Structure 1
């Protein structure tokens, strides 16, 4: 399981049935690519990493921008769209998502933007942006903000992640889940933006600690 797969990264603060038409898409003349990505997120096999997840990450990016976080809108939004474009529970899903971006985007935007999108997608495997990486910090915080969801939503998200790994025995899944949660929280700060630290740090750590108490030591 990848880190993203074990944790699952929805925010859980949006409409349960987002209208894809309302999702911010930063490229003009690339609606076919947008629709291809939407189709990938809408695959029935996705118990958690679906269109709702995409909508929530995009919404948290808008929230961060409104709170004063500075990031380059086009590459960060595109990275949000691509970060789980490939999702099948295999370890290299982020790499394959980044490769998809590298293959699909040159027809629609400049080389620097393509490279930045791919870099950001790869960063979501571990969520460890450098302090000066404004784009990486924004995307990472938006993706991790599910950890700060209200208790009922957090529990729903945990169950949805488990459903995506129904093929794994409970003890195998629990050990992997505990490993990645501990890796994420074994840092001074989970969130790298000021807004993330202020709004999400404390509830996220409380949720994770509560869940870890139910998992193997």
Structure 2
């Protein structure tokens, strides 16, 4: 669901939403972004919409998910936690300006904040649609996954190769240790197996590149 349609379904003002979209596009096209860009936001909006439909969510709920999908990385400076909080604040400000109801603003804001730890109650289907879609890239083709991994490395270029290798390996190990990567059965069927192969492959490459690893 595109941004303007989602805002309209939540009763928001179209001209104000259009101004917000222009700002959103500008932010996602910032030159320091190599993965968390408009292409990523578009993919998350697409995949979360597909999952939301599979979950049987109504049009209103799907609009809230779409808003969160479009805005979850609208502020991005490679500062985990801070970026999501700033993105949630941007979401609140722009939805308020557009005249969206407070309940929907709070829900969209909360969904953006779930991406900090990628956690929410098991029965929260809106969060499942968003969070599973956000990790869909892990289950992409090896070529697309490699592009993602390289892009994230570039976004964190302030770190030395040694520091990045250690930190990234820890992240990959944590992901692989999870009993499941995705919250929903739909996402697990679609992406889980390939995601684990991609993650394991990247972890092996970092371990092989570590002179201290045996």
Q: TM-score if structure 1 supplies the norm length?
A: 0.84
Q: CA RMSD in A?
A: 1.7
* Structure 1 residue 84 corresponds to structure 2 residue 49: no
Pairing partner for 1:127 from 118, 136, 143: 118
1:160 deviation in Å? 1.0
What's the offset of the Cα at 1:65?
Answer: 3.7
**What CA deviation, in whole Å up to 9, does each residue of 1:37-81 have, x standing for no partner?**
111101122111111111111121233245x12342121111111
More helix by share: 2
Q: 2:72, 2:115 within 8 Å by CA — same for their partners in 1?
A: yes
Query: For residue 128 of structure 2, what is the aligned residue in structure 1?
Result: 137
Matches of 2:193 and 2:49, distance apart in 1: 21
Q: Tell me, in whole angstroms, the C-alpha distance in 1 between the residues paired with 2:200 and 2:56.
A: 30
In 2, the alpha carbon distance for the partners of 1:35 and 1:144 equals 26
Structure 1: gaps (5+ residues): 1-21
Do the aligned partners of 1:70 and 1:134 also contact (CA within 8 Å) in 2?
Answer: no
Structure 2: which 5+ residue stretches go unaligned? 9-13, 208-212
Q: Give the distance between the partners of 1:125 and 1:182, measured in 2 at CA.
A: 18
CA deviation vs aligned residue, 1:94-137 (integer Å, no higher than 9, x gap) = 01111111222123211111111111111111212221010111
- Bigger radius of gyration: 2
What pairs with 1:176-191 in structure 2 (closer than 5 Å)? Answer: 176-191=167-182
For the residues of structure 1 that align with 2:162 and 2:2, how far apart are their CA atoms?
A: 38
Where 1:88 maps in the other structure, the secondary structure is coil
Runs of 4+ deviating beyond 6 Å: none
CA contact (8 A) 2:132 2:183 kept: yes
Mapped to 1, the partners of 2:177 and 2:104 lie a distance apart of: 32
Match 1:100 to one of 90, 95, 101: 90
The structure, 1 or 2, with the larger RCO (C-alpha pairs under 8 Å, 6+ apart) is: 1
1:69 aligns with 2:52: no
Q: Do the aligned partners of residues 65 and 136 (structure 1) sit closer, same or farther apart at CA in structure 2, a change above 3 Å counting?
A: closer
Give the number of aligned pairs: 195
TM-score, scaled to structure 2: 0.85
